[in-house]
């Protein structure tokens, strides 16, 4: 009986050892599957990074064409140079300049005699570089054909002979019942004891809001003092 008890105990001990060893083997297998899944996910992530890097590199390596609104450097692409076909090579054509707007403008030079009466000066409209555009000259005045802001200017060369000289730019407008009103004036009275007379210049210029039908003209108090060549005495206006 003692032998039987010992054999039973040995069998029981073998059973206990086997029951503890089986869970450990299962745990080792489970841990290996988890690592495999982690490695697989890391490989997929790295593959995605490499693919994205390749796409970015390909994008920045793509050549910039003239149809691109902005090139890779962030600048507006330059227009290709145009070459003359008549000369066959490398002659760059000058760029076309935008056409100037046909704004009213005029430049007049002094006429002879200088005054038509009452000190109102007369002007030439038929000599170079005289011109007129979208304005009308009549009765020694420039007539406005379009409302707007105009720069009016006049320059007079005169002889200073110890006499008072006054240079004016005047306006006539319906808003003041066509009564002449003064826009600008320059007046001088200088005498030099060592000279009987000398030349001087008077320049007037300013911006005014004028309306269609208004007129502007130049007046002096003594037209006999006006002196010099036509290019030294001028009157004009242009829209700003």
pLDDT at 150 over 50: yes
More reliable by pLDDT, 55 or 209: 209
Q: Are residues 48 and 109 in the same domain?
A: no
Q: Are residues 224 and 115 in the same domain?
A: yes
Tell which of 34, 59, 93 closes a domain. Answer: 93
Residue 230, in any domain of the structure: yes
Tell which of 61, 93, 125 closes a domain. Answer: 93
Residue 198, in any domain of the structure: yes
Confidence (pLDDT) at 17: 46
Q: What is the pTM of this model?
A: 0.58
Dist. CA 205–CA 198, nearest whole Å: 24
Confidence (pLDDT) at 192: 63
- Tokens at 125, concatenated: 């409209």
pLDDT at 239 over 60: yes
Confidence (pLDDT) at 168: 98
The per-residue pLDDT for range 188-233, each reduced to its tens digit, is 887 765 666 688 999 999 999 999 999 999 999 999 999 999 999 9
Q: Find the domain containing 32 and state its range.
A: 1-93
Q: Are residues 118 and 17 in the same domain?
A: no
Q: Are residues 60 and 135 in the same domain?
A: no
Residue 98, in any domain of the structure: no
The per-residue pLDDT for range 76-128, each reduced to its tens digit, is 555 544 444 444 445 555 555 455 568 999 999 999 999 877 899 999 999 99
Q: Are residues 23 and 86 in the same domain?
A: yes
Per residue, what are the HEC states of the chain?
CHHHHHHHHHHHHHHHHHHHHHHHHHHHHHHHHHHHHHHHHHHHHHHHHHHHHHHHHHHHHCCCCCCCCCCCCCCCCCCCCCECCCCCCCCECCCCCCCCCCCCEEEEEEEEEEECCCCEEEEECCCCCCEEECEEEECCEEEECCCEEEEEEEEEEEEECCCCEEEEEEEECHHHCCCCEEEEEEEECCCCCCCCCEEEEEEEEEEEEECCCCEEEEEECCHHHECCCHHHCEEEEEEC
Q: What's the total number of domains in the chain? A: 2
Q: Are residues 16 and 84 in the same domain?
A: yes
| Among 29-38, 181-190, 207-216, the range of highest mean pLDDT | 207-216
Least confident of 23-32, 184-193, 227-236: 23-32
Tell which of 41, 71, 93 closes a domain. Answer: 93
């Amino acid at each position: 009986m003692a032998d039987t008890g010992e054999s039973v105990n040995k069998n029981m001990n073998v059973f206990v050892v086997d029951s503890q060893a089986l869970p450990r083997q299962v745990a080792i297998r489970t841990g290996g599957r988890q690592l495999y899944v982690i490695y697989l996910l890391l490989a997929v992530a790295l593959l995605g990074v490499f693919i994205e890097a390749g796409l970015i590199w390909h994008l920045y390596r793509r050549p910039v064409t003239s149809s691109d609104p902005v090139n890779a450097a962030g600048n507006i692409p330059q227009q290709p140079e145009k070459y003359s076909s008549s000369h066959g090579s490398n002659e760059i054509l000058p760029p076309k300049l935008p056409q100037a707007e046909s704004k009213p403008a005029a430049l007049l030079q002094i006429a002879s005699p200088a005054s038509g009466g009452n000190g109102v000066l007369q002007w030439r409209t038929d000599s170079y570089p005289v011109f007129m555009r979208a304005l009308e000259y009549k009765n020694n005045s420039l007539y406005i054909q379009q409302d707007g802001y105009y720069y009016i200017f006049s320059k007079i060369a005169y002889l200073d002979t110890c006499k008072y000289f006054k240079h004016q730019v005047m306006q006539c407008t319906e808003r003041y019942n066509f009564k002449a009103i003064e826009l600008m004036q320059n007046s001088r009275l200088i005498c030099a004891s060592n000279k009987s007379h000398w030349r001087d210049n008077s320049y007037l210029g300013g911006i005014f809001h004028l309306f269609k039908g208004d007129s502007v003209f130049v007046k002096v108090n003594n037209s006999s003092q006006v002196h010099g060549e036509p290019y030294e005495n001028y009157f004009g206006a242009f829209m700003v």
